[in-house]
Chain A
Amino acid sequence: MKKYVSDISFCVGLALVSIMLLVLCVSFFWLPCDPEAMSGLLKLKPPSPEHWLGTDQFGRDIASRIMKGIQISFLIGAIVVAAGGVIGVLLGACSGYFGGWVDSVIMKVIDAQMAFPGVLLALMLIAVFGNGIGNTILALSIMSIPRFVRISRSGFLRLREADFVRAEKVRGASAPRIMFIHILPNLMSELAATASLTFASAVMSEAGLSYLGLGITPPDPSLGRMLSEAQGTILRAPWYVLIPAGVITVLVMGFNLLGDGIQQVNERR
C-alpha cells in the first residue's frame, strides 16, 4: 500500500474519485432541489444562492441534475466494468490457459470486434435495441470486453507455466480451480488498473453517444446529454457547458490517473 501512496498519479486519482464518490453518497440522501422541476421564469439563470450552479434551458436546477447525473455515470461505469470484466476475464482466462483452438477462436472474434470502430458498433446496437440506459450499458459493455480479454489472456499465458501452477496440477486440482483460485488473484492489480481505465472510457463514451442524441433517454439527467444540451446555449450561458464538461473531465481523469498509478506501481515491482 505504501508503494501506492508514494505514487503521485495514484494519489491525485484517488482524491478525485473520492470527491466524486462523496458527492454520489450525498446525492442518495439529499438534493438541493427537485432535478426535474421546470420553471419558465428561471430559464438559464447564472449561479445564485438558491441555485448554486444556475439553471438550465428549462429552468431546472443544474446542481441537482449534476448530482443525479453522477449517480447515472457511476451506475453505467460500474455495470459496464462488472459485465465487461466478468465476460472479458472468463474469455481471456480460457484463451490464455487452454491455448490451442480455444485461443484462436476467441481471439478471432475479439479481433473482428476490434477491427471496427466502437462508435459504429454502438450505433448499430442502439439502432437495433433503441435508446435507453439499459441499451447504452449493453453497448458499452460489449465494447469493453476486448480490453479485459487481452489483459487477462496475457496474464494467464504468462502464469500457466509458473511453478505454483504446475504444483497444483500435479496435486490434481481442476482447471477452473487453478484458473480462478490460484492464477486470478495474481492478476488482480493489473485487472484493477484495466477496470479503472475502462470505467473512465465508459463515462466518456456515454457522453459521446448522448451528444449524438443516442444514449440515455431524457428527462434522466446524464452528464453527456447535459453537455449536448448546454452546447446549444453556449453563446448565451457559457458557464453551463463548463459544469458537465468539468465533472466529466474530473471523473475521467480521476479513474485514468488511478489506473495509471496502479499500472506504474506494478511495473516498478
Chain B
Amino acid sequence: MKRQIGIITAMTLAMTGMMTISAPALAEEEEPVIVRASIGAEPDNLNPWMSAATDTEAIFLNVFEGLVRFDETGAVIPGLAEEWEISDDGLTYTFHLRDDVTFHNGEQLTAEDVVYSYETLSGLNGEDPISSKFATITAIEAPDDFTVILTLSEANSAFLQLTRVAVLPEGYEEQSTAPVGTGPFAFVEYVPGQKMVLEKYEDYYDEERMPQIDGAEIYIMTDESAVVNALQSGQLDLGTVYADTADYVIGDFEVYSSPQNMVQLFALNNSVEPFDDVRVRQAFNYVIDKQQIIDLVFSGYATELYSNFSPVMAVYYNDELTDYYATDVEKAKELMKEAGYEDGLEITITVPSNYQKHVDTAQVIVEQLKQINVDAEIELIEWGTWLEDVYTSFDYQTTIVGLTGKLDPNDILARYTTGFKRNFMEYSNENFDKLISDALTASEEERVEMYKECQKILTEDAAAVWISDPNQIVITRSDLKGYTFYPVGFMDLSKLYFE
C-alpha cells in the first residue's frame, strides 16, 4: 500500500507542478505580438472566389484586397486601384492600379493579374463563370501594365462596390490550400476544426494600414460558452459572442457592441394558406412584440426592425416606418377575425436547430401567438435540411432566420423580387419589382428614394415579420485596443494594437 501511496503522491505533485507553471506565458520583448481571436464557424473555402460565408470573409478581408475597398461607413474607397473613372453612360470603368503592390509570394501586381481575375470570375476565359454577379462584363482590356478597362453590357449603379472582389495572382493554382493575396496579413496555416494563423506582411504597400501586431491566431469555436471560458482563462484576447453572453464575463475586459446590418426575420410563406392573406400577415405583425424578443433573447443588445433593412445603412434607411405595426393585440384579433381565423389556427415554425438564438426567438413567438389563438409548433431541422427544404424548395409555412448584411441596398432588397431564386418568402409585388430594376440605372439621389419606397412597400404588405438586427458583440482584453466595426462582417486586424 505504501508504494502505491508513494506513486499517487508523486503523480499529484507532478500535476500540481504542471498546473502552477500556469497558463499565460508573459510576452517577453523578443516575442512576436500575436492576437488570439475567435470566430464562430469553420471557413467555407480558403479561395476567396469559392467562399460565400460571412465569417470566412471577416477574416480573409485581411488577406485579400480588391480594386476598391470600403471604410467604416461602408463607403467605397481606393484599394488596389488608386483611382477610377466611370463613363457617362455607366458602361465603361477605367481603373488605375497602384504600382507598388506585391502579392504575398513576392510577385508584383500588374494589370495582367486583374484581367486574369475578372476573366475567370465572369467566365470570359471560356470556362464556366465563377460568379454570376459579373455576367454583365463584356470586355476586359489592359492598355498598359497598370490600367484596366472593364466594359459592361448594361449600366449598374451597384457595380463599383462589386469590384471589391479579391484580385488573385495569375497562374497560381494553390488558392484553396495556400492562399496568396495582397492584404496586410499573409496566410500561414489552417488546422481544420482548430485555427487559422495569419502573419503580418512586411512588404505591405500602405504605411497607414501597416499592422501593429505581428500576427493573429483565429480559433474556430462553435460553442458560445467555450468562447467566454477561453477569454476568462486567458486563452483568447478577443472573442466575438452573442448578446447576453457579454454580461457574463467578469474581469479586465472591454465590451464593444454595434448593430451588424443583419436582418433577423420571422418569415411567412406568402404563397401558402393562411399567409397568402395580407390581413393574417398584418395580424402577426401586430401581435409580435419585438421589444420583448430583444429583451428576452438578446438581453436588449439588438435594434428593432420595421422592414427588411437595418438602420446601420443610414443613407438608404427609411425611418418613417418606425412602429408601423406598434404591438396591438386587439387590432391583431380584429384582423384575424376579418380574415376568417377568429377561432385561431395551427401553424408550424421551422427553425434551423444549430442557431440557438433563432430557436429561442421561436419559443417567445410561440407564447406571443397564443394571444390570438394561434397554436404554433416548433419544428427543429438541421441546417442542411433547412437550406434544401426552406431556402431552395420553399417547402415550409413559417421560419426564423438571419440574413447577413450587404454593402449595397440592392443586394439586400432584391431578395423580395418576383422570381428571384432565393425569394423564400415567395413575396411578389409588381411595383416593388419595377422599383428594384429601375434603381440599378438611376442616379444616386433617385436610388435613395426608390430603396426607401421599396422598404415601405414591404412593410405595408407585411411580407414578413422583421424582428431585429442583433448586435455584434466583441469582447477584448482591456489592453487590446483599436477594434473597429464595419457594416459587413470584417474583423480588421490591421487596426488592433496592445497598449
Contacts and interface: CB of A to CB of B under 8 A. Distances in A.
Interface of A: 36-38, 40, 43, 57-59, 127, 130-132, 213-214, 217-219, 231-236
B367 A36 contact: yes
A227 to B, nearest CB: 12
Given A38-B296, A233-B248, A235-B248, A217 B378 contact: yes
B353 A213 contact: yes
Nearest to A234: B225
A130 B381 contact: yes
A235 B249 contact: yes
Given A43-B296, A217-B378, 16 more contacts: A38-B292, A38-B364, A40-B292, A40-B295, A43-B295, A57-B296, A58-B364, A127-B382, A127-B385, A130-B380, A130-B381, A213-B356, A217-B379, A219-B366, A234-B248, A235-B249
A132 B313 CA distance: 40
A219 B378 CA distance: 8
B367 A37 contact: yes
Nearest to B232: A235
A218 B364 contact: no
Contacts of B245: 232
B298 to A, nearest CB: 11
Nearest to B300: A40
Q: Which 9 A-B pairs have the closest CB atoms?
A: A235-B248, A131-B380, A40-B295, A219-B363, A213-B353, A236-B248, A38-B367, A218-B363, A58-B296
A232 B381 contact: no
Contacts of A218: 359, 362-363, 378, 380
B286 to A, nearest CB: 19
A214 B353 contact: yes
A130 B379 contact: yes
Contacts of A214: 353, 380
A112 B54 CA distance: 41
A57 B244 contact: yes
27 contacts: A36-B366, A36-B367, A38-B296, A38-B363, A57-B244, A57-B296, A58-B296, A58-B363, A130-B381, A130-B385, A131-B353, A131-B380, A132-B380, A213-B353, A217-B379, A217-B380, A218-B378, A218-B380, A231-B225, A232-B224, A232-B225, A232-B244, A234-B248, A235-B228, A235-B248, A235-B249, A235-B250
A182 B247 CA distance: 64
B431 interface: no
A59 B381 contact: no
Interface residues of B, number: 28
Contacts of A232: 224-225, 244-245, 356
Choose among B245, B249, B292, B296 the residue with the greatest number of A CB atoms under 10 Å from its CB. B296
Nearest to A213: B353
Choose among A59, A219, A231 the residue with the greatest number of B CB atoms under 10 Å from its CB. A219
B354 A213 contact: yes
Contacts of A132: 379-380
Interface in B360-385: 360, 362-364, 366-367, 378-382, 385
Interface of B: 224-225, 228, 244-245, 247-250, 292, 295-296, 353-354, 356, 359-360, 362-364, 366-367, 378-382, 385
Contacts of B364: 38, 58
Choose among B225, B247, B381, B385 the residue with the greatest number of A CB atoms under 10 Å from its CB. B225
Contacts of A43: 295-296
A180 to B, nearest CB: 40
A43 B244 CA distance: 12
Nearest to A41: B295
Contacts of A58: 296, 360, 363-364
A38 B368 CA distance: 9
B366 to A, nearest CB: 6
Contacts of A234: 225, 248
Contacts of B244: 57, 232-233
B297 to A, nearest CB: 8
A216 B43 CA distance: 30
Contacts of B296: 38, 40, 43, 57-59
A232 B360 CA distance: 12
A131 B225 contact: no
Choose among B249, B362, B363 the residue with the greatest number of A CB atoms under 10 Å from its CB. B363
Contacts of B366: 36, 219
Contacts of B247: 236
Contacts of A219: 363, 366-367, 378
B388 to A, nearest CB: 12
Nearest to A130: B381
B233 to A, nearest CB: 12
A236 B245 CA distance: 9
A37 B367 CA distance: 7
A214 B382 CA distance: 9
Nearest to B362: A218
A214 B367 CA distance: 22
A163 B224 CA distance: 63
Nearest to B376: A219
B240 to A, nearest CB: 16
B23 to A, nearest CB: 19
B230 to A, nearest CB: 13
Contacts of B250: 235
A50 to B, nearest CB: 19
Contacts of B225: 231-232, 234
A230 to B, nearest CB: 10
B7 to A, nearest CB: 30
A232 B223 CA distance: 10
A40 B250 CA distance: 23
B144 to A, nearest CB: 56
Nearest to A131: B380
A131 B247 CA distance: 31
A128 to B, nearest CB: 10
Contacts of B248: 233-236
Nearest to A237: B248
A127 B385 CA distance: 9
B190 to A, nearest CB: 25
Contacts of A37: 367
A218 B355 CA distance: 13
Nearest to B377: A217
Contacts of A233: 244, 248
Contacts of A131: 353, 379-381
